[in-house]
Every structure is written in C-alpha cells, then in structure tokens.
Amino acid sequence: MILLSFDKKAADATISALMARYSALPRHIAKKHLQAAMKRTLANGVPVLRRHTPPMGDRRGRKKKGDRSTGALRRAATTKAKFIGRNADGVVWGVLGFKYGFQSRKAIWMENGTVKGITPRRIVENTMAEYGQPSAQRLASEMGAALEKAAAELAAGMNPTRNY
C-alpha cells in the first residue's frame, strides 16, 4: 500500500518535494492528478503479482500433483487508488492486491499457510522485493508528469474553483 498525504512528510525527499508543490494547487485538481499518477504507477505491479502467484512455471500443460488451480487467483490481481478524507486533511492511497471475495481469502491462505497443510508461499513478500524500489522511482516520475498536467489545467482555466 502506498499512502500520500498533503500535510505529512514522505519518506522519500523527491516525493515530499512534489507533495509540497501539489499542496499549492487547488485541492480538487491536485486530488484528481495524484489519483491518476497513483493508478499509472500501480498498473505495472499487476503482472509482477501474477508472476509470483503459484504455481510458478506451470503456465501450460499439466499441473503438478497436489497443486490446485490458481488461474482465478491470477485473474483476480488488481489495483485500487482512492482519495479518503476531507479536502483539508485527506490522503491518496493506492493498493496492489487481489479482488475482494473468495480469491482474496485464497490469497491469504497461500500467503500465510494453514494448519491443515497449505505451506506459506510468501506471494506479497516476493512481489514487494521485486517491485518495491522501482515503484517508488516510477511514482516520483508519474507525479512530476501529473504536476505538469495539473499546472496546464489550472492555467487554461478548465476546472475552476467554485465559490458558492
């Protein structure tokens, strides 16, 4: 999960500087462009998560004896980006994971294992080891591109602030 707040410092200096620039924009424009940057950043994580979902290496042909089919679990890999809170103190968050329902329960069993014989597979740990650092760099570049688009939108007067 990635969390971006307007009023708290980020761990990365470049992302913190970009968030300071976003806080100077009107919130409705900043929220829209931050969500879009988050969605574009997390979109590259879905293939990585699918690649680490077992059974790895058995894409075609017969599955190994004792392995259950995980095609539905691979298809359930998804991302979500949202703004939560008020304009004054809200946060933009993004998450890479599995869709809600039986497939997410199956993912939890495969991640942690069960008492009755499913060994832990560490899907999320392996995914974050491969995807974690590149996603931070990509987030900074996507936020920079989105900041330019937000500034162009503000200069063009396309989405004006409403004063009631």
CA distances from 137 to 6, 13, 19, 42, 142 (A): 19, 11, 15, 12, 9
Query: Among candidates 20, 11, 43, 45, which has minimal Cα distance to 147?
Result: 20
Burial of 52 per CB tally in 10 Å (0-12, 13-18, 19+): buried
* Tens of pLDDT, residues 121-142: 888 888 988 888 788 889 889 9
Q: Across residues 24-28, what is the average pLDDT?
A: 88
* Every domain of the chain and the residues it spans: 2-56+69-154
Tokens standing for residue 88: 């004054």
Highest average pLDDT, of 28-32, 85-89, 118-122, 155-159, comes from: 28-32
Structure letter (DSSP) for residue 31 = H
d(CA 161, CA 28): 8
Tokens standing for residue 91: 């946060």
Higher pLDDT, residue 137 or 161: 137
* Tens of pLDDT, residues 53-68: 876 555 555 556 655 6
Q: Give pTM, 2 decimals.
A: 0.78
CA distances from 44 to 32, 66, 81, 143 (A): 20, 31, 14, 15
Close Cβ partners of 121 (under 8 Å, ≥ 6 residues apart): 54, 110, 111, 113
| pLDDT at position 101 over 90 | no
Name the percent of the chain lying above pLDDT 70.
88
Give the per-residue pLDDT at 145. 94
CB atoms within 10 A of CB 162: 6
